[in-house]
Amino acid sequence: MSEPVVLGIESTCDETAAAIVRGRELLSNVVASSMEEHARYGGVIPEIASRAHAEAFVPCVSKALAEANMDLADVDAIAVSTGPGLAGCLAVGVSGAKALAWAANKPIYGINHVIGHIAVTQLQFGPFPPDTLALIVSGGHTSLLHVQDVARHVDVVGTTLDDAAGECFDKVARLLGFPYPGGPHIDRHAQNGDPHAIRVPQGLTQGQAGARHPYDFSFSGVKTAVARWIETQQAAGRDVPVDDVCASLADSVATVLARKAMRGCEQYGSKTLIVGGGFSANSQLRAKLLEYGERCGVEVRIPRIKLCTDNGAMVAMLGVNLVEAGVAPSAPDFAIDSAMPMDKISM
């Protein structure tokens, strides 16, 4: 069988994206973001995001096909993110993808957006070694997953019990007066600060809670501790050393993620850690994971920034994996699942 050609469509949050992948080759990757429309509100407004998806859907898909020098007839299958994500946003992408699949008589796969973040690394690093572990870090998810077969079997090793790493950064950014999204601003300021200036707690790493949740994450207390520290400074009339706050926060979060990921690799005998999700664009986290990986003899695969944030390539790449594995397409009437569990790969 020749390498499958898959059109991937993404609309889980504030990016409308479409891409074409043939085998392990990315032929086109088009992303339209509605981020600027949400900035004035300090976060994503689902209704605005849904409308933006409806406006961008046809132009994105058309451009992805044109850049790949193809039309819909040349595609073997369509893959679309069906969860987890914002229900209204998912509905736009899924209904559009179903219409295309029906019109062109193509099989359709409703895929798990988070597993797409794992699959996309194949475009840069090639196939997965056995017993691969994956660390997913995004605005809404912090998860450690054991990948036995990216098309058929992924197990949850650990997950966030409250705030995800990205949420923690956004909330602290708001306290510091940074515009939305706050992550890139914290990253930039952290590069000029002292990571040991402030003692930032490391959730679920100590005592009984740490023993009970060796691979789970908790960043709510981190956000609260930083908020209290800032309030104390302000109440005493002292200036808040913004660079040091950002560096200390980034170092604490990156250290927890790296330590738990490496402990998971040891537990599962894994020599490879895949990292995915928008938060993996954070430079402190990238550096910390590579440092810990080298120390523990684990190859850390962090994709280039364009493949970290939400995109159609990750959806298409997982679609290719499903086609190659002979997994049956989704039923034409499959539903969106805004809380799709991490161990469910496709509908």
Which residues are documented as binding site for substrate? 136-140, 170, 183, 187, 282
Three-state DSSP state, 137: strand
What is the number of other CB atoms lying within 10 angstroms of the CB of residue 106?
18
Residue 333's identity, in one-letter code, is D
As annotated, the binding site includes 113, 117, 136-140, 170, 183, 187, 282, 310
Residue 159 to residues 59, 208, 241, Cα–Cα distance (Å) = 36, 17, 32
d(CA 335, CA 327): 18
Record the tokens describing residue 219, joined without a space: 């960043």
User: What DSSP character marks residue 326?
Assistant: T
Q: Which of 221, 227, 222 is nearest to 175 (CA)?
A: 227
Residue 49's identity, in one-letter code, is A
As annotated, the binding site for Fe cation includes 113, 117, 310
Which alpha helices (DSSP H) does the chain contain, by range? 35-39, 46-67, 87-104, 113-119, 122-125, 165-175, 183-190, 207-212, 220-235, 242-268, 283-296, 305-308, 312-324
Q: 316 CB contacts (<8 Å, ≥6 apart)?
A: 6, 7, 8, 19, 20, 21, 79
